[in-house]
Structure 1
Amino acid sequence: MYAKQYEITLPADYDMRIIRKRVADGGHVLDDRAGLGLKAYLIRERGTDGSPVNQYAPFYLWHDPGAMAHFLVGGGGFQNIIRDFGRPAARHWTGAACHAGPARGTVPRSAARRLTPLPDDPADPEGPDGEATGLGLAALVEREAEELRALARHPDLHTAALAVDPHHWRLLRFTLWRGAVPADVAATERYEVLHLSAPGLERLPEGSAW
């Protein structure tokens, strides 16, 4: 599984009805895209739910990296974004865990993203001989995967994913929700979901990736 997101930050006085109409008119295009687990058409509006910006920020979970590459550089759809907004940086993460929540059968209305830096020196467990094992990072990610597993039991949770950026060494937690994101869910960004394309939702892995 691969996660991908690009963020298009718009002027403070931008009419977000333009983005809403764009998604209403064209969001269905990826509803049957082979290789795609899900695409959440996300926005943030300045002054809403703590957002300092207007932003269009689609988020993807792919189960086929070839299909992701075709979308980005093979004429599979990203050229429309480039044409209309210029070419944004497309962040991507390697999947570590994914869970279906109790609300998987509903239409999600909100999403949360939490990006956290991975420390250079995470606490390193000792081996049987008392020596450091070098597995501090693995232990940290496993703890995060356990937290994700617990969060996935929330009755309003649609989908939860955990992924790693091994370039900048940051951990991504992404969650989709039936209603508003619960107030006690830690997030660096909260979004409104305008549409969900989920042609390969059932093909996304369940549980940890290893």
Structure 2
Amino acid sequence: MAVGMASGLLAVTLAACGGGGSVHTTPPSVSPSTTPSTPQPPMDAQLSITNTYAAHAAGYNGHGVTIGVVDSGIMRSNPTVAGRVLQEFIDVDPNQNNTNIDDVVGHGTWVSEIAAGVPFAQFPGGIAPGADLVSARIISDNAPDDNGSTPPSTVTTQDAQFFQSVNQQLISAGVKVMNNSWGGITWDTTNASVNQAFDA
């Protein structure tokens, strides 16, 4: 009886340990190895690949320069540019766009950060953090059918007149450098009247 009891205890003990008796354990599943993702560009790419650190070290930071950003607007409350957006021109239809918000889309604000933002949180700053900014808001809040991936509309002489007006208002505001990072329209270089309108 003692031998039978000892055998029973041994079987229970082995079963509790995951072996012996009639207990079958399933080995733990092995997690699949993760595929490394494409590395993201460094947070300071706008500084490191443009040799901006050397310019900053030499004392160049854009102080005294006004940069014009022709885009979707600039959010003046953004802490990287706050207090340095000298003027905002609204060149979109106020009946079709929310002009109570400086930049509904956000692209113009991102461009402004890269151009002239001061360091904030994880953002290391822009190329010319001492510069001032002027915004020309030409991008509508809602993307048009001509968004760069659908058949685009063609540049006309009216577009030339529009951009002459935009450029003149920026120049009158003291802008020395302008940024235009938008697209989606087609330029027919064989159209002499359009070429002449833009050359004027």
**TM-score bracket for this pair, using the shorter chain length:** under 0.3
Structure with a larger share of its residues in helix: 2
Structure with a larger share of its residues in strand: 1
Question: Normalization by structure 2: what TM-score?
Answer: 0.24
Query: Which has more radius of gyration?
Result: 2
Question: Normalization by structure 1: what TM-score?
Answer: 0.23
Q: Which has the higher contact order (CA 8 A, sep 6+)?
A: 1
